[in-house]
Amino acid sequence: MSGPRNRRATGRTPEPLRLACIDSDAPPLFLPADSAAGRRGYEPAVGELVAAELGRPLEWVYLPWAQMLPSVRNHTADAVLCGQGITEARLRQVDFTRPYAVFHESVLVRRGDPVKSAGDLRGRKVAAIAGSTNMTLAETFEGAVPVPFGGDSDDVFGDMLTALRFGEVDAVVDDDVVFVPLGEHPDFALAFTVHTGNRWGIGVAKDRPEDLAAIDAALGRITADGRLAAAWAEWIPSLPCPFAAEGDR
C-alpha cells in the first residue's frame, strides 16, 4: 500500500499504527502490559500521542529485542518505538524520525562495590545488550570484559540485572533512564554516568518514506506544542527534559 496510512480525512476506518516493542518491566520507559490499564510509561505515552495526532488507533506488537527492527523491514510492524538509539548500524536497516528522547549511559554495579570510573572495571565482566549503543560504550572500557546479552530474550534487561545480582557479571551498562527506579535498591548502586547524549527515534522501513514523513511530522507537532515535554515531566521528572515547546524557547 503506498502513501502514509492516515485515514483521518477519507471517511474510511483508520488502520492501526502498529508499533514494535518489548514487553518487560523497565520503568519509567515502560511497564509490563496490563489487561486493564494497557501499556504505560514514557514510550507508550509518546506512541499514544503520535497515533492520536495521525488519527489512527494504536496497536503494540510485542517482540523480543532482536526481532523489532526485522519486523519493521518485513512490515509486520509499521515502526519501532522502543529504546532505539539512532546509530549508523541501525540507520543501515531503517530510517528514523527526529528524536523523542535524549539519554546518557550509566553503569550499574552491586551495592558496596567501589567502582567509580571506567578504569575500575579493568578485568571485570561488563554486561550490555548485544549490538546496542551500551555495548559500544562497554567495549571502550579498557581492560574490561564485555558480556553481550542476546536480544532474543523477552526480558533482556531483567536477565542482566539477575546476572549482576548473582555475580555472573560485575556491572551493567544501560541508558540512565532505566536505572532511575533503582536509586535506592538494596542490591544495586549507580557507579557513574557517561554523558553520551544518545538520541532515540522511531524507526520506519526504508521503503515507506511516506510513513516516515507522517510519523516524523506528528512527532514534530507534539514536540512544538509541549505535549512531548508534558509526557516527559509525567514519567521522567528526575531527568532534565531535552525538549521545549516553541513558546518556551
Residues 193 and 111 in one domain: yes
Do residue 226 and residue 165 come from a single domain?
A: no
Cell of 231: 509526557
pLDDT, residue 245, reads 62
**pLDDT exceeds 90 at position 153:** no
- Residue range(s) defining the domain that contains residue 123: 103-197
133: domain CATH number is 3.40.190.10
Which pLDDT band, with edges at 50, 70 and 90, does 1 fall under?
very low
User: Does 10 reside within a domain?
Assistant: no
Task: Say whether both 113 and 145 belong to one domain.
Answer: yes
Number of domains making up the chain: 2
| Contact criterion met (CB below 8 Å) for 68 and 21 | yes
Is pLDDT larger for residue 218 or for residue 132?
A: 218
Q: What is the per-residue pLDDT for 168?
A: 98
Same domain, residue pair 57 and 178? no
- Report yes or no on 120 lying in a domain: yes
**What pLDDT, on a 0 to 100 scale, did the predictor assign at position 248?**
64
CA 228/CA 207 separation, integer angstroms: 27
Same domain, 145 and 130: yes
Residue 4 has pLDDT above 50, yes or no: no
8 Å CB contact between 194 and 137: yes
> What span, in angstroms and rounded, lies between the C-alpha atoms of 218 and 6?
11
- Digit-coded pLDDT (tens) for 76-110: 999 999 999 999 999 999 999 999 999 999 999 99
- Identify whether 12 is part of a domain: no
Instruction: To the nearest 10°, report the CA torsion of 29, 31, 34, 36.
Output: -60
Asked if 95 and 26 sit in the same domain, the reply is yes
Please check whether residue 2 lies inside any domain of the structure.
Answer: no
Contacts of 33 (CB under 8 A, 6+ apart): 23, 39, 60, 62
Answer yes or no: is 4 within a domain: no
Pair (192, 207) in one structural domain = no
Hey, what's the torsion of the CAs at 9, 15, 17, 22, to 10 degrees? Answer: 170
- pLDDT of 196 reads 94
Residue percentage of the chain with pLDDT more than 70: 93
pLDDT at 2 over 60: no
Same domain, 35 and 151: no
- 173 and 158, same domain (yes or no): yes
Band the pLDDT of 11: cuts 50, 70, 90. low
| Alpha helices per DSSP H over 5-151 | 42-54, 68-73, 88-91, 133-138
Q: Between these two residues, 131 and 195, which has the higher pLDDT value?
A: 195
**pLDDT at residue 10 tops 80:** no
Question: In sequence order, what E strands does 81-223 have?
Answer: 95-96, 101-110, 125-129, 145-149, 171-175, 188-200, 203-204
Average confidence (pLDDT) over 114-120: 97
Q: What does the pLDDT average to over 122-149?
A: 95
3 is a domain residue: no
Cα–Cα distance for residue pair 107/134, rounded to 1 Å: 9
Same domain, 95 and 208: yes
Quick check: 187 and 165 in contact, CB under 8 A?
yes
* Domain-located, residue 7: no
Judge if 181 and 215 occupy the same domain.
Answer: no
| Average pLDDT of span 215-236 | 97
Domain contains 5: no
**All 3 cell numbers of residue 130?**
548485544
**Same domain flag for 27 and 112:** no
